[in-house]
Amino acid sequence: MPTIAELAAPNPGYSYAFLDEYAKRELRRRILKAIAIPGYQVPYASRELPIARGWGTGGLQVTLALVGPDDVVKVIDQGADDSVNAANLRRFIARMAGAATTTDALKATILQSRHRIPEECLQEYQTLVLQVPDPEPLRSVEHDISKARLLHAEADYGLLWLRLYEQLVRYRRVTLGASYPCLVNGRYVMSPSPIPRWDLPKLHRAAYLTLLSAGREKRVYAVPPYTDVRPLEFADVPFRVEDQRGWTCRHTGLQNKFMSELPQPGGSALYEISDTGFVEKVIARSKTSEVSVGVTYYDDAGRFYIDGYLQ
Amino acid sequence: MYVAARGGEGAIQNAERLYRELIGNFDAETVRTIERAMPYLIDRVMGEGSLYAPELAALALAQSGGDLYEAVLMLRAFRSTQPRLAYAHVVDAERMRVVRRISAAFKDIPGGQMLGPTLDYSHRVLDLAVLEGEPTTPARRHDGVDGLEGERTAKAGGHEVSERGDGAAPAASLNGELQLHGEKSHLPLVADWQRDAGLLPALPVHPCQDAAEIPDVTREPLLFPAPRAMRLQSLSRADTGGVLALGYANMRGYGAVHPTVNEVRLGYADVEIAHPITGELFSIGRVRVTHAEVVTAVEAAPAGGEASADGPAQLQLGLGFCATIGWNEVKTIAGAMLDMAMDLPDPHPSHTEEYVLYHTDPVESSGFCIHYKLPHYVTFGSELDVVRSMGVAKKVAGLGDYYGDGGGLAAGMPGVYSERAAPPAVSQAAGEPM
């Protein structure tokens, strides 16, 4: 007599790219909707993954839904390819999807990022996947998500403008740091994940597709290619990126790229460019002419590549 | 093309190895021991992991060294990869094989109260003799009184416990299932009695929907206001501690209710599915389940829609419900109180649906909590930039008036830029390769 165990189908193990086909199909449909309505937060049934919530499961699910064996994946965390979380996510994606990995921003077809956009201008063949801890730009002014959705539906962003104005009155400047709210395609205000203000302009009329996904909060939204993205700013109080003029990278000698500050004993500080893949290429180019470094969003004098966007 | 990652990878592999060394070796026998020895822990992991798989829950506990949140995460991550083969028939609570049921609302209830397995009335005294090598058996009591004879007359928190036949006689374990001589498999629900008495609103005429039509919180996003099925599913897999904390706030008075436990029942339920060809229902196994119901007096909904302008407001009983797989009384009682509080007008913030359901998911909350261990220097750098631009930070040595602020709205923000000093001296060593 055969046993039930013998009769049962053998355990097939995990699906390609970990997620089962239903999960991938659902996510792809939600992504299409997100692309069709720029900046609009599309709810999705976020799956549990073998990494902890809040560590990039939203971005990871989008990446796993998109990735194929021919893709080249780059994963960065705060600009670095070799930070432990980035290394771990990259290891998982490569293991489950058989995709190649790279640290070169221009060689990647999918870039999953926590809180940075690379310094080199990304191109049409690329997709940027941003991990998002809190997708709701109205959270600070409206805790109730049902009411916040109503405000989005009516494009009622008065509370947000009021908050900026209150900051001007109290502090004489806008005190928002990273995750600066921005208006997408003139319709929806979105939270651009906690990228620094330095990176926000890079989303404006970008050639590439940006997908933003919050696994814990179960929302995906998108900035399609060549879409307007404008920070909330008053005509007489323009948006400002982080002031790092005068900071020089200790590895490359470059200025006007986004830097990490490294506190030193005695109260001083050193600086290095946060985008480690970029630093790698700059150093390699100084040794051999075979390496080419792409055009950067900010030139060495700190001018943004789209004239007039930053006042 | 494969570019090997640097630095980070070796570090994380070593870090994991250290963790594994701390836990030590374990094998299938260890896993089976955990499964046998810690049924309540297993139940909690299965409930929060929303997967009924005692062996896998035990494995997850072994692999995580007993870190509950990690174990739940592992189980859910595994669960999320499994196909949905069939939908179980809705469990009829009346047909549960009940091993424990308690009502605090009534001294006696149809079918009687059953203490079943519980530590409620035991003395929580550490059995130090075990450390001296004396084996523990179900019959040996810490106070030296052997057997369960003395407990025959025990009262459940002031309630009479009916003594049917040979009563709650000693348990025997068969295939891990508790066998009680006095157990019943068709105990009526207390709430049904109240419905018959007109104290509770009647159940809908067609209570059993097609199971496949019930919204599934693991497949669809939780939106608010949530369908009741989503709410109950979320509570069912919520973090025990989280549900307890918010439920406790309710019990302590942050909520205008004084709920009474109508019924808590623990038992076994058959998981029945329809045969794919004949359509006949058959049992594919038996699971431990808990359900709890609480009641309180609430304003009755007007019978015909509009309340009459002059008539006094009516009160009737409101019911809160929570159930979970596995035996977990604390979660279901606290959850049932929250369920009821959420339905009341103007609930306390900690009893609103969105607040409760979003904040008690063990995987989401614990994951977000520990994500703060990840580097945040980009966002923090942005914040520092703002703080410095306000001129409050102590000047960094060697940077002179680098962060000086012109002050004033008109001059303030541009001032940061215009008063730029020379690049700081510390960065003169720039250009060194990594």
d(CA A27, nearest CA chain B) in Å: 11
- The three-class DSSP label of residue A31 is helix
Averages of pLDDT over runs of 10 residues in chain A (311 residues) are: 73 82 95 98 93 90 96 95 90 93 97 96 98 92 90 97 92 88 98 95 97 95 98 94 94 95 83 95 92 94 93 81
Query: Rounded to a whole number, what is the distance in Å from the CA of B45 to chain A's nearest CA?
Result: 15
Cα separation, B335 vs B243, in Å, equals 6
Low-confidence ranges of chain B (pLDDT < 50): 1-5, 142-170, 172, 400-434
Name the minimum distance, in Å, from the CA of B190 to any CA of chain A.
Answer: 36
pLDDT number for residue B229: 92
For chain B, the first-to-last Cα distance in angstroms comes to 24
The reply to whether the predicted model has a pTM over 0.80 is no
pLDDT in tens, A175-208: 888 899 999 999 999 999 999 999 999 999 999 9
pLDDT at position B94 is 86
Comparing CB atoms, the residue among A26, A100, A218 nearest residue B1 is A100
Q: What share of chain B is helix, strand, coil (3-state, %, to 5)?
A: 40, 15, 45
A264 to chain B, any CB pair closer than 8 A? The answer is yes
Residues of A in contact with B76 (CB under 8 A): 48
Residue A186, min C-alpha distance to chain B (Å): 26
Residue of B218, B379, B389 with shortest CB distance to A173: B389
**Neighbour-count burial for A55-74, b at 16+ CB within 10 Å, e otherwise:** bbbbbbbbbbbbbeeebbbb
Interface of B with A in 66-105 (CB under 8 A): 73-74, 76-77, 79-84
Q: Is A11 helix (H, G, I), strand (E, B) or coil?
A: coil
Q: Which of A47, A94, A274 comes nearest B80 by C-beta?
A: A47
Give the separation between CA A181 and CA B212, rounded to whole angstroms. 40
Model confidence pLDDT, tens digit, residues A120-167 = 999 999 999 999 999 999 988 988 889 999 999 999 999 999 999 998
- B residues 369-428 lying closer than 8 A (beta carbon) to A: 369-371, 374-379, 381-386, 389-390, 396-399, 402, 408-409, 412-413, 416-417, 420-424, 426-428
* Per-residue pLDDT at B41: 97
Asked if B409 and A168 count as a contact pair (C-beta separation under 8 A), the reply is yes
Q: What is the sign, positive or negative, of the torsion defined by CA atoms of B112, B114, B115, B118?
A: negative
Per-residue confidence (pLDDT) for residue B416, from 0 to 100: 39
The CB-side HSE value for A206 (13 A sphere, CA atoms) comes to: 28
Query: Using one digit for the tens of pLDDT, what is the confidence trace for B246-271?
Result: 998 888 777 756 788 999 999 999 99
The DSSP call for residue A81 is: S
Between A and B, how many residue pairs show a Cβ–Cβ distance under 8 A? 231
Q: What is the pLDDT of residue B213?
A: 85
% pLDDT > 70, chain A: 99
CB-nearest partner of B76 from A48, A245, A260: A48
Q: Please, what is the average pLDDT of chain A?
A: 93
